[in-house]
Structure 1
Amino acid sequence: MKIIACNSNRPLAEAVAAALNIPLAQASVRRFADMEIFVEIHENVRGEDVFVIQSTSYPANDNLMELLITLDALRRASARRITAVIPYFGYARQDRKSGSRTPISAKLVANLITEAGANRVLTMDLHAGQIQGFFDIPVDNMFSAPLYARDIQQHYAGRELMVVSPDVGGVVRARAIATRLHTDLAIIDKRRERAGVSEVMNVIGEVQGRDCILVDDIVDSGGTLVNAAEALIKNGARSASVYVTHGVFSGGAVARVGASPIEKMVVTDSILATEAVRVSRNIRTVTIAPLLAEAMRRISEESSVSTLFC
């Protein structure tokens, strides 16, 4: 197998290659003066099992084009099988028509990746599980639940925990971690009374005196999670921490989290951390490199990937 890293998250690609004890393949992804992207593979990949690691995070369009052009280069170089490893799948929140005359961009991106030459996709905590059905090629959607359950057990041992979903749509994700921790589950019910009026947060579940763990897949502006943490503290929770897979952190999100009552926010390195994230007082990063490396090894060896979820 060969591993190629694009530019969105090279440290993660290097960590995955180190875990597999395989050097990254020699390739260059660069830009012309007008910012057109050019990709050149400097090794023979004919008949090889190739994995391309690229998150489609900010700048999403540039990183997506890097991935597509790299896939096309590998297909034209006669790679036997090409797996697009996309730790963070951008455009995943556009998974349905949200109104009249609006796109389903996640489906469009799935088509682009397939037509560019990918034979398989490996990703992490898709925003909506049905996105797997947008692809006409196999998709392995890894979950952070086992990783986070172990981390919570290490850092919150002996505390009376309550796992909390920040909205009704995230209940399945939160329940998976609550089941592993053998703890209770609470839900934040958020609603907007009318346009221009801030959301009202109601807590479904008894959080009085509990150390609450909010679980979500994406933190973008941070508003929902900060509001949820404030609602939990207001309802008598002893503390509020957050475990989220993809740290998008757009705008002033890092400052917003830093000024909030969130005790600790834990994110994975599916998206390359900015300097603001690295120096934040209450944001901690855990790596998914060993998990991705093991999944890639099993895909290459044609063995079971689903047992990683156990």
Structure 2
Amino acid sequence: MFLVPGSGNKPLGREIASITNCDVVDFETRRFPDGERYIRFVDDVPKETAIIVQSFGGAPDDLMVELIFLCKTLQDLGARKLIGVFPYLPYLRQDTRFKPGEAVSAQIMASIIEFASISHILTVDPHLHRISEPNEVFNVPTASLSAMPALASYLKKNYQLKDPIVVAPDVEAAQWAAKVASVLGTDFYTLEKTRLDDSSVRVKSKRVDPVGRDVILVDDIISTGGTIAQVASQFRRKGVARIYALITHGLLADGAYEKVSKAGIDALIMTNTVPNPYCKVTVAPVIVQTLNDLRTSNTT
């Protein structure tokens, strides 16, 4: 096996290669004057299974085109099989048609990945709200990994928690809150969220008594930060001790970090599925464990 680190997260790709002792096969990419993409592998492509690590934060459309070019070129150059490691997968939030005429982007994105000839998919905390399993979207074997145990362990190791309570901002986040609560040995509560538009929400708190306790907010994605900021502000007014937020994918669009900081978050703890300056936890170990399982099961 060898590994190709895509432009969406080269540091994580190289970290995974280092842990697995995989050779890295690199490529060069640039833009033509008219905006078209150029890709060329600068290393020889072995006739072995290729692991392509590509994350899609910040510029998902551009990075998806890069993925297709990489996969098709690897196939042309003799790679035996392609495994897609996609720490953050975009477009899963539009998994149904909310208004007439809308594109169901989750299904379309799955078709694009199928066109890229990927035989296995590994992803971390995918945004599957109305879908129970990723294989309901993808037609290839897909492993849905979670960073929540690692995030919770980091919090437990590095902070002196005071009677913590874990909070999910909506029912979809309850699955992740349950994992965090299990590691911390505490209970969790789920709030009610109504999305008003692309960047604003309304969150209703249930009867939770957080006075004097540390509150741990848990969600898979922070994009504009509207949800986490609103929930943090509500709990801050209730006299909590400290507020922590555990997030897998830190997209941090439109000044999100500053927004949640002003709302009273004491620590925003995120993974490196999407590169940003505030990552505290790496997802490389959980990805490597699954890659090793694929190796030993002879599916690679």
| TM-score (normalised: structure 2) | 0.90
Amino acid aligned to 1:126: P
In structure 2, what is the equivalent of residue 7 of structure 1? 7
* Distance in 2, Cα, partners of 1:32 & 1:115: 25
Instruction: Please list, as runs of the form range in 1=range in 2, the aligned pairs for 1:63-74 lying within 5 A after superposition.
Output: 63-74=63-74
Shift of 1:236: 2.8
In structure 2, what is the equivalent of residue 292 of structure 1? 287
Segments ≥4 residues shifted beyond 4 Å: none
In structure 1, what is the equivalent of residue 54 of structure 2? 54
- For the 8 Å contact 1:168–1:189, the answer to whether it is kept is yes
Task: Check 1:303–1:170 CA distance in 2 against 1; reply closer, same or farther (3 A cut).
Answer: farther
Instruction: Please list, as runs of the form range in 1=range in 2, the aligned pairs for 1:74-153 lying within 5 A after superposition.
Output: 74-128=74-128, 129-153=132-156
Shift of 1:48: 0.5
* Distance in 1, Cα, partners of 2:46 & 2:94: 36
Amino acid aligned to 1:167: D
Task: Check 1:104–1:301 CA distance in 2 against 1; reply closer, same or farther (3 A cut).
Answer: same
In structure 1, what is the equivalent of residue 186 of structure 2? 183
* Distance in 1, Cα, partners of 2:39 & 2:135: 27
* Distance in 2, Cα, partners of 1:157 & 1:208: 17
Deviates more, 1:128-137 or 1:255-264: 128-137
* Distance in 2, Cα, partners of 1:207 & 1:303: 50
- For the 8 Å contact 1:188–1:201, the answer to whether it is kept is yes
Task: Check 1:272–1:192 CA distance in 2 against 1; reply closer, same or farther (3 A cut).
Answer: closer
- For the 8 Å contact 1:203–1:232, the answer to whether it is kept is no
In structure 1, what is the equivalent of residue 297 of structure 2? 302
Shift of 1:167: 1.2
Shift of 1:187: 2.1
Amino acid aligned to 1:13: G
Shift of 1:188: 2.2
- For the 8 Å contact 2:134–2:144, the answer to whether it is kept is no
- For the 8 Å contact 1:4–1:51, the answer to whether it is kept is yes
In structure 2, what is the equivalent of residue 260 of structure 1? 263
Unaligned runs of 5+ in 2: none
Shift of 1:168: 2.0
* Distance in 1, Cα, partners of 2:142 & 2:102: 25
Task: Check 1:200–1:113 CA distance in 2 against 1; reply closer, same or farther (3 A cut).
Answer: closer
Amino acid aligned to 1:184: D
Shift of 1:113: 0.8
Task: Check 1:191–1:52 CA distance in 2 against 1; reply closer, same or farther (3 A cut).
Answer: closer
- For the 8 Å contact 2:203–2:230, the answer to whether it is kept is no
Deviates more, 1:178-187 or 1:264-273: 178-187
Partner SS, residue 203 of structure 1: coil
Match of 1:238 among 227, 236, 241: 241
- For the 8 Å contact 1:201–1:231, the answer to whether it is kept is no
Task: Check 1:239–1:6 CA distance in 2 against 1; reply closer, same or farther (3 A cut).
Answer: same
Amino acid aligned to 1:241: Y
Deviates more, 1:63-72 or 1:28-37: 28-37
- For the 8 Å contact 1:106–1:131, the answer to whether it is kept is no
- For the 8 Å contact 2:166–2:217, the answer to whether it is kept is yes
Amino acid aligned to 1:141: S
Structure 1 residue 219 corresponds to structure 2 residue 214: no
Shift of 1:4: 0.4
Task: Check 1:200–1:22 CA distance in 2 against 1; reply closer, same or farther (3 A cut).
Answer: closer
Match of 2:252 among 246, 249, 269: 249
Task: Check 1:71–1:260 CA distance in 2 against 1; reply closer, same or farther (3 A cut).
Answer: same
Shift of 1:272: 1.2
In structure 2, what is the equivalent of residue 272 of structure 1? 275
Partner SS, residue 39 of structure 1: strand
Shift of 1:252: 1.5
CA RMSD in angstroms, aligned pairs only: 2.3
Task: Check 1:243–1:13 CA distance in 2 against 1; reply closer, same or farther (3 A cut).
Answer: same
Match of 1:173 among 162, 176, 185: 176
